[in-house]
Chain A
């Protein structure tokens, strides 16, 4: 795949958001991943040329951040949280079942190119543990059974919807979002998941008076 002038123009658009263009490097690399499927040498060269820095400097940044991939990714990125809390609540069991089901190990892609599997760190959704992600979208309160169902749906190209977000598209499409290009999906999914509403629902049920605040009608 070759990067086009359109990509170069979009990189310049990103650079214009910042007082100093080098600040654009992280989103520019997300854009490269969205176009190329991973951070290709060509993508590194284009970032370096646009920013007037060396390819080695760009590579140094690429290798620091786990979201940047150095080899071709599957259509979907599947993450299973195996940090302590999720692992203990069942994340370890889920990860092991998914590996077995897909026949791949950590950081590997299924032969059909559909799924790249990775165990991931805390997703800041611990009250929804055990948590998985598809293309980084939340899939809350998973079990090994629900995880296998999701994998089967992805492999069969059936529609899959995040528990607190949009219908899944692809890892590459979301990389474009990380580059700062809105995809018009902000209105999909609920305002909040059930666990996020625990305290508020209790307060409402108990009839606690909610203290005045700028969001209040008081």
Chain B
């Protein structure tokens, strides 16, 4: 599946994250996090897992995270994906 429009989900609040999706030729993921040093790899793994679950092959994914737990990452990203792949 591809991201077909620019969408956003989430907030800038603590323990949450903001997800921005936009159409792109290839899959490009950038993650910024206030806990990058401690959990950067785990966040990345979770994001990749959710993208794979939804079969996202192309799109620009930008995430700014403020220490969200796995469940929050999953929920926000899924919301954004549903919005971004809706025709």
* A and B: interacting chains: no
> Which A positions have Cβ atoms within 8 angstroms of B?
none
